[in-house]
Structure 1
Amino acid sequence: MDRELIEIDSTASESGSSASGYGDPEVGFDEWKEDLLGCLDGIKSSGDFSISRRYAVHVNPGLQIVGQETAIPLPLTDHEAETIRGACREAPFGKGDETLVDTSVRKTWELDATRFICTNPSWPAFLDSILRDVAAGFGLPEVKAKPHKLLLYEKGSFFKRHKDSEKEAGMVATLVVCLPGIHTGGDVHLSFGSEKRELATAPASRFDVTAMAWFSDVDHEVKPLGSGNRLVLAYKLFQPSGVVQSAQLLFGQSQRVKSILSKWQTRFSGRSMLAYPLDHLYTKSSLSMNNLKGRDRAVCHSLREVSATCGLYLTLAHMTRSEMDDCGGYYFDSEESSTELETIYSCDGAPIGSSCQIDESEILVPDFFEDRDPDSEDEGEFTGNESMPAAFRYHNTADNLLSMVKSVHEEHRENPIVKSNTLKVMTDILDASQSSSSSIHFAIARWALETNHEDLFQKALETLLNPKVPKELLAELPKFVGNLLNEAYAKTSRDFNWDSIFGPFLQSTTLGVWNSISKKIAALLEAKAVKDSFNLWARSQLDVKLDAQASFDVHDHEFFLKSLGRPMENDSEGTLKSIFETTLEEARSRLVLRMQDLGLHNSTFYSSSTYSSSTYSTSCYHPLDHDCRLLFRQFTALVKQSLVLGISDKAVLLVEECHKGFNAARPSWDPSRFHKEALVQELLVPLASAFRSYQITPTPGVAAFFELLIRDVLHHQIAKHPEKPNGWRHKRRGCRNCKDCDALDAFLESEDQGSWSLRANADRRKHIELHLPSSIFMKRTVSDRSPYMLVVEKLGTEHEEEVRRFRQQLAAVDGVLAPLRGDIFRSLLGDATYRELIELEHVRAGTTQGPVAGVKRLSESDLAGDSARQRM
């Protein structure tokens, strides 16, 4: 049974109730719920006592003063303002039974409605759209408007606090439409009871229209205009007959709701949620404040106005009651029942949570599910399109929740209850999102900086740097943290307490990760003092970690390799060399290249090794569209560094481990997706040259590593030289699923038949034609009778086409293999294997062709390792 409901969510501390909590004899929880339910049930209409809307897309009214021939152009200029002023009078005001002109009370120019007209025929339709917005804001089904005045405000114009007199029977409010014309100042200050508002037209005055409306019993004051001119169309607003609405009515209704809700925090703080079922049903896509109907809209608007100031959040949700019988069906006497808020939405309709269990005591309507038939008795709900995701991903709902909380805080910035709730909710989001997207942590940290909440900023940054954050987010940390530090320190002289900011992260991470991330953060810092301070502190932490860290892993190689590049006298005892050798031995299986490292793929993600700069480090995730050239260079650097240190056995074992992994994965290879040129230039040639340079005799496992990559990757798609068929024989080309193609294949395989015909409809003829390339077959249609006849003739060029493609493939492979020709690979592979794999003797056999045209053959003295050694 699904029901839409509003959820009134309290975020107050649950550490205990106040002194006047549940035991307060003044009012109990059930009695308090009855009062709230009665108040909400009594709401028939709702709205605000004032509204303000900005219209970037609008219509020029074509304002024309009676007696003048042209309309006033907009935006308003000083020249046009002077023209309007010439037709106006100083605006009067009422005092008791008198109408007075006193510029110490009101200083404005006005023109009566009989003295101007709006000539644009599109203006009434645009005005109607404004009136619809006003009616919705007031909680009225509709409002009608009558033109009242044209008002011109110039620098220094104002109107002291007053109320608009109801100039005609049925008038309930005033609407002013501010037309484009740049100005400053002139804010309208409104107040009713304890509520105060400030409405501004200046920010949008250059090009936009701003409409403001308020009920007649609202006090308001127009502050002095600072500069420019403001031109306003004033209208009298009337409500439909039978509808009684006023600021007093709305205010009284709001105050009753507020009075009851304010007791929640002080007396029932242990209760975190209440649900009020709505009258109407709403779909998942329509459940938002803008789409609520009838009394639902009135109730929710009333609650939304007061919830935040009472320390509450108003949300919307779908509520489902499930009850099971012994056979898996539904019946309502079962004790095995549950009520759940399936998805919780902000008032704007954004999902902020899901699958929240609710107790019946938290539903305002008592015994809500009694005597109700189930809405459905099936085994699940089906949707018309794709299935819904399994709940909402946390980072989406958290982002929406964060947006809602920030919006409420912005509207009630000075309310201490709202401030306290905002901090608590943001802290809860941080506690719950340690494994989610770091953008949430960043957003909270930035908000904390903007609002000067230092403690929340520190917590957000600590959460962002929490070691439990998935490793794939490590790549994002420098950007996020660098931006935060720039915002935190760029415009202030805060102390640089790096230990408090990075301490927990530094203690939990490895030397290699810290070394890499700290350098990236430093590069992003903008202020010199901040950069220098951070660099000095970060470098000192490397020495501290080296002394304190008891064991090391693959993540530390970057630090070790850089350190080993320093003069060896800095490591007189061989400490760094020993650490590197041990780590290389223990982490060898994680250092090897894998199948997916061999090429360029689409932009998905996979787990693998990565390398950076001229040193080695690892991370868990990187995109498959990476440039594998860099990856190959860094793997080669790791092997060469092992040779430099005299631990060649470790280098040999590393390459042999790669061969084992490649060989095991070979059945699932797709070499067409591998980057062959990069494999040769950045891996095979440098590795072979390194072994030759340090006079390391390749083991059978090392030789097998090279042979496997050359044979199974570089030779991929090379076929034997095509044999010339007998007579007219061609290869089969049919689909093998239809009789027409069976007849076609019989014709193609015939050594004697040179032509063939098929009389058939257009679809069958087209099907056959699609299988026959025009470079090999002549095709024509004979239209002597219906159905037409397709005639196919063999041109005898199929073998030539195959030879041409073979030579293209051979030329491409010849070009890829060219850097491997020379003594280094002849010695590494052995003469026979070298002639087969590098000279391609087995492929050239059977052809009269020598070296493939267009490919330069290297001489035996042009060794592959020479250029590689020059780069070492």
Structure 2
Amino acid sequence: MANPYSAIEISDDSDNEQPRGEIVEWMQALYKTLGAIQTKGKIATFKHYQLFINPGLRIEGHSVVPLPLTEPYAEAIKSLSKPASLPSHEAVVDTSVRNVWELDRTKFEITNPAWPTFLETVASEAAKGLGTGAVAVKLQNLLLCELGAFSTQRKDQDATKNPDAAKNVIGTLVVCLPAEHQGADIHLSFGDQTCSFSTAPSSALDLSAIAWFSDVKCEVKELVSGYRLALSYELAEITPGQNSARMVCGWAGRVAELLRVWPSKYSNLKKLLYPLDRSSGAFTSLHDMAGRNRAVCETLNDICGEAGFYLLLAAVTHEEVNDCGEVTVSSSLEDVFTPDGLSLTVNESFNAEKEMLGFDLKNRDPDSDDDENLPPWEACEEGESIRRYHDVAALIIPKERLMTLIKREDYGGGYNKYAGVYYPPRVSTTENLMVMIANDLERFPRDPKTRLAASKVMESLSAAGTLNGPAVGRIAKWSLKNDEKSLYNATLALIPSQGPVFTDLANALDEHLTHQYAGMEHIINWNDWLAPIAERNLGMAEQNMKDLREGLSNFKLGLTREALVKSFNGWQEKAVERRLESERSWDTPELSDAKEMRRSIIQHGFAKLIVRPQDLYIAPGTPATAVVPIDTMFLQCIEETYAIGLPQEASTLLTATSTGLLAMRAMWTDKTFKDLPRTIVTKLITPLVRLIQDGKAASVRAVGHLLEMLLRGIIESYIPPYPNRPNGWAVQARGCGCTDCLQLSAFLTAPDIQVWHFTANAARRKHIERVLEMETDLFRLETLRTRTPMTLAVTQIGTEYDRFVKAWERAFWEVESIVRPLRGNVVKELLNDENYRNLVLLESHAQYVPPGSTAGVKREAVAAEWEYKRPRIV
């Protein structure tokens, strides 16, 4: 392999106006360096094994050593061992190693015949992590570390001092057997690459394996308790691969070196694309990549973030138009994904000659040709021919330029007439962008370019209204934790003042303020933390007050510490009073006989005050200005009736409304009113629960009966049965029903066929491609040009099971977002315990949710468990 540092040298001049020739040389150097990367490896690897084979160690004069290691056997091993030393120092005591004992391989044996097979697995996984080829292992010795054991920084010597003795030896594999201990962390380094591993946390019951290259320096920290027992092996190379840390780090270091001069020397260059191998399978995420594509992109992913760039993955189309001998080429980005596989909508066109490394179409056959099926004489008559070339590429863009690439629009769903299937809308570009920014902030919390990029994104989205989604909350919580106040305020302004994201943020602020103001909660200036919420919707008096009250009430549900709640309550009352005083459009009615007037209105207008299903239904296409907020008016009536001292009248209204809605539940199953149950829960019952929590209304049993029926209907209509795993490769049939599509369906529904070859003319092949082209997660399409007509090869690379599971999870989280605000003692009392657990906590469905999911059934906030406040009497 060539020397990774053989590419051209780049000077450190900071002149931004560089001649085109120098930029070309720099791009060629980067292209050459990336082209040299074959596999992605590390200087060392580490893995725990909870399931493992006991080697059956037997030492002279003793039975098999028990695992975990006991003290008597540790002493027995020590009595037969000698102090460990570096290989080149065998004749002297090595002071760089202390309290480490070495038992020669001739003085013990491994008796379990299953051990070699397990060891082969361990070695194979270690080789994969190091990025080398196949390896063989050779047992060296048994090592015992006792209290106080350590070794100073050193590296293996044999490989350099006696090459013949260490032929093909590339490193060391240490297998730590179960022996409980604390300390003795292992620190490995090569140049500026470092890593640290700890065997202590799982040492009592698990086996751990650590491997590193021979030129890596190894240092073992002091063992503070217990023993560590390990088998030491040499790693020898069988098939060629990366055989040293220098080789692993060399190409990556050169790529990093080249990228770091980009911002200062070539600032006019907006982005770069590096073409990947299109035949290597999926490209939409690092996880799905394989072979060299994965090695290159993982290397870039490791480097880009720290060097001030984002790495994206792109599908590219080049269109070459030949108009009577005049050739023009245009290039566009068709699909762009984050390394985690999240799609982004981008500005499509770009200049491939200036922005794509190694761009050259001269020696390539087109992937599609408009003249492919025309006779030569007809193709000539046309005068214009169009050839298309498709690439997949790694896209590198400076962090500060990210928003110049993003187009602010969402992918919509729709019916694909070729596939005969409906595709739901994809997750919005904005939410996926938030996920990428949040991941980058958490990965590089101290990087100023990362913080600046996040601020620019938030600033550019300031006119987008509120944004829902957990990633926005993650950014706000990160900025809170890292004292980025401006970023916190910009993000908080985008978070809606209701829903789980806002409640989670309140939890984070609860912890932050408790830590910062412990014992001094009364001095907190809440304006410093909630100003964006308090200032939202200025100039709209009634809507402003409604949003302010809802936002502050939702926030309080996330506070769990009584001292903070008390401090917040005082500020909340003053904030509402100040807002009331600041609004000039409020009328002040005469209130001398208000109580009797309201009682009379309720008695004589009772039928008109009750909410009916049709009052909550909004027909599609209804202008927002024509919508009458009946739900808001009804809840305001209930609140004011309680406030004025008529609790019985308010309860009667609630009971009549709940009973009436329940009596008309036949409407809920009508497709015209399919969203009505959700509307009733979110717009009527959820705000009512808040009123009851705040002591502004009383609980009535009829509301509980209505809520039970509504939630049962929502769960039944939203959440399908959990999907079963498929049989082999079989998926649902697709297509329009023509003869070719019937052949396709026969292939798709066959459980034992993964590849299908379809030989036909271009029009018939294109028809099949259109059926499958949107489903890159399931199918890989390739045109084979070995014969005429050509052959379309369709390879299944996935099944619909993951898609069905994700659809089920989306449905679950959709319902979870509906019931989450209902959790608390109010609803627990309205429903019996079993109904509350199944319909509100969703316990019967939550069992299918993957462990460790960031969203889920959360504990109820302390604020929701308080005793109800007594109604305020005016």
- Residues 400 and 138 of structure 1: is their aligned pair in 2 closer, same or farther, counting only changes over 3 Å? same
| Correspondent of 2:45 among 43, 51, 64 | 51
Paired with 2:44 and 2:454, the residues of 1 have a C-alpha distance of 30
Paired with 1:392 and 1:282, the residues of 2 have a C-alpha distance of 27
Look up the equivalent residue of 1:408 and give its one-letter code. Answer: R
- Residues 274 and 147 of structure 1: is their aligned pair in 2 closer, same or farther, counting only changes over 3 Å? same
| Correspondent of 1:256 among 254, 257, 265 | 254
Paired with 1:667 and 1:185, the residues of 2 have a C-alpha distance of 64
1:222 equivalent to 2:220? Answer: yes
User: For residue 484 of structure 1, what is the aligned residue in structure 2?
Assistant: 508
- Residues 301 and 439 of structure 1: is their aligned pair in 2 closer, same or farther, counting only changes over 3 Å? closer
User: For residue 855 of structure 1, what is the aligned residue in structure 2?
Assistant: none
1:78 equivalent to 2:71? Answer: yes
Correspondences of 1:39-438 after superposition (within 5 Å): 39-70=33-64, 72-95=65-88, 99-103=91-95, 105-165=97-157, 166=159, 168-240=166-238, 242-243=240-241, 245-284=243-282, 287-289=284-286, 292-321=289-318, 337-346=330-339, 349-355=340-346, 357-359=348-350, 360=352, 361-368=354-361, 371-375=364-368, 388-394=423-429, 397-398=432-433, 400-402=435-437, 404-406=439-441, 408-409=443-444, 416=447, 420=451, 423-424=454-455, 427=458, 434-438=465-469
Q: What is the RMSD computed on CA atoms of the aligned residues?
A: 5.2
User: For residue 728 of structure 1, what is the aligned residue in structure 2?
Assistant: none
Cα offset for 1:295? 3.4
Cα offset for 1:187? 1.6
Aligned residues of 1:93 and 1:101 also touching (Cα < 8 A) = no
Paired with 1:312 and 1:303, the residues of 2 have a C-alpha distance of 10
Q: Deviations over 1:35-94 (max 9, x none)?
A: 211222233444222222233443333333354322x33333434433433332221224
Cα offset for 1:157? 0.3
Aligned residues of 1:62 and 1:120 also touching (Cα < 8 A) = yes
Unaligned runs of 5+ in 1: 1-17, 554-559, 565-570, 583-587, 599-606, 619-633, 684-872
TM-score using structure 1 length:
0.57
Cα offset for 1:666? 13
- Residues 448 and 667 of structure 1: is their aligned pair in 2 closer, same or farther, counting only changes over 3 Å? closer
| Correspondent of 1:595 among 604, 608, 614 | 614
Aligned residues of 1:591 and 1:609 also touching (Cα < 8 A) = no
- Residues 236 and 421 of structure 1: is their aligned pair in 2 closer, same or farther, counting only changes over 3 Å? farther
| Correspondent of 2:575 among 541, 546, 566 | 541
Q: Deviations over 1:94-143 (max 9, x none)?
A: 45x65422355443012222333333344333322222222222222212
Cα offset for 1:492? 1.7
* 2:230 aligned counterpart, secondary structure: strand
Aligned residues of 1:352 and 1:401 also touching (Cα < 8 A) = no
Correspondences of 1:767-782 after superposition (within 5 Å): none
Paired with 1:82 and 1:406, the residues of 2 have a C-alpha distance of 50
| Correspondent of 1:529 among 539, 563, 569 | 563
Q: Deviations over 1:635-674 (max 9, x none)?
A: 6x878999989x99xx9xx99xx99xx9xx9997999999
Cα offset for 1:25? 5.6
* 2:172 aligned counterpart, secondary structure: strand
Paired with 1:90 and 1:344, the residues of 2 have a C-alpha distance of 55
Unaligned runs of 5+ in 2: 1-11, 160-164, 373-387, 389-414, 538-542, 602-606, 618-626, 686-874
Structure index of larger Rg: 1
Paired with 2:630 and 2:181, the residues of 1 have a C-alpha distance of 58
Aligned residues of 1:477 and 1:517 also touching (Cα < 8 A) = no
Aligned residues of 1:61 and 1:123 also touching (Cα < 8 A) = yes
Cα offset for 1:489? 0.9
Paired with 1:204 and 1:486, the residues of 2 have a C-alpha distance of 34
Paired with 1:387 and 1:174, the residues of 2 have a C-alpha distance of 55
Paired with 1:149 and 1:396, the residues of 2 have a C-alpha distance of 54
Aligned residues of 2:492 and 2:533 also touching (Cα < 8 A) = no
Paired with 1:363 and 1:148, the residues of 2 have a C-alpha distance of 50
Correspondences of 1:443-842 after superposition (within 5 Å): 443-464=474-495, 469=496, 474-476=498-500, 479-493=503-517, 496-507=524-535, 508=537, 510-551=544-585, 592-595=611-614, 616-617=634-635
- Residues 394 and 175 of structure 1: is their aligned pair in 2 closer, same or farther, counting only changes over 3 Å? same
Paired with 2:645 and 2:94, the residues of 1 have a C-alpha distance of 97
Look up the equivalent residue of 2:219 and give its one-letter code. Answer: E
- Residues 114 and 314 of structure 1: is their aligned pair in 2 closer, same or farther, counting only changes over 3 Å? farther
Aligned residues of 1:106 and 1:160 also touching (Cα < 8 A) = no
Paired with 2:675 and 2:448, the residues of 1 have a C-alpha distance of 60
Q: Deviations over 1:436-480 (max 9, x none)?
A: 32422221122233444344333332322xxxx4xxx62446623
Paired with 1:667 and 1:160, the residues of 2 have a C-alpha distance of 74
Aligned residues of 2:173 and 2:233 also touching (Cα < 8 A) = yes
User: For residue 774 of structure 1, what is the aligned residue in structure 2?
Assistant: none
Cα offset for 1:158? 0.6
Aligned residues of 2:171 and 2:214 also touching (Cα < 8 A) = yes
Q: Deviations over 1:386-439 (max 9, x none)?
A: 565444434762464246425632xxx66x467546755874797597543242
Paired with 2:422 and 2:169, the residues of 1 have a C-alpha distance of 52
Paired with 1:399 and 1:234, the residues of 2 have a C-alpha distance of 46
* 1:120 aligned counterpart, secondary structure: coil
Paired with 2:472 and 2:597, the residues of 1 have a C-alpha distance of 40
Paired with 1:194 and 1:75, the residues of 2 have a C-alpha distance of 36
* 1:491 aligned counterpart, secondary structure: helix
Look up the equivalent residue of 2:532 and give its one-letter code. Answer: P
Aligned residues of 1:163 and 1:220 also touching (Cα < 8 A) = yes
Q: Deviations over 1:303-344 (max 9, x none)?
A: 344323322233333333457899xxxx99775844114131
Paired with 1:271 and 1:589, the residues of 2 have a C-alpha distance of 67
Paired with 1:580 and 1:460, the residues of 2 have a C-alpha distance of 46
Paired with 1:367 and 1:578, the residues of 2 have a C-alpha distance of 84
Aligned residues of 1:180 and 1:209 also touching (Cα < 8 A) = yes
- Residues 545 and 451 of structure 1: is their aligned pair in 2 closer, same or farther, counting only changes over 3 Å? closer
User: For residue 730 of structure 1, what is the aligned residue in structure 2?
Assistant: none
Paired with 1:513 and 1:674, the residues of 2 have a C-alpha distance of 23
Aligned length: 589
User: For residue 693 of structure 2, what is the aligned residue in structure 1?
Assistant: none
Cα offset for 1:238? 0.8
Look up the equivalent residue of 2:436 and give its one-letter code. Answer: L
Look up the equivalent residue of 1:119 and give its one-letter code. Answer: T
Paired with 1:489 and 1:114, the residues of 2 have a C-alpha distance of 63
Q: Deviations over 1:792-843 (max 9, x none)?
A: xxxxxxxxxxxxxxxxxxxxxxxxxxxxxxxxxxxxxxxxxxxxxxxxxxxx
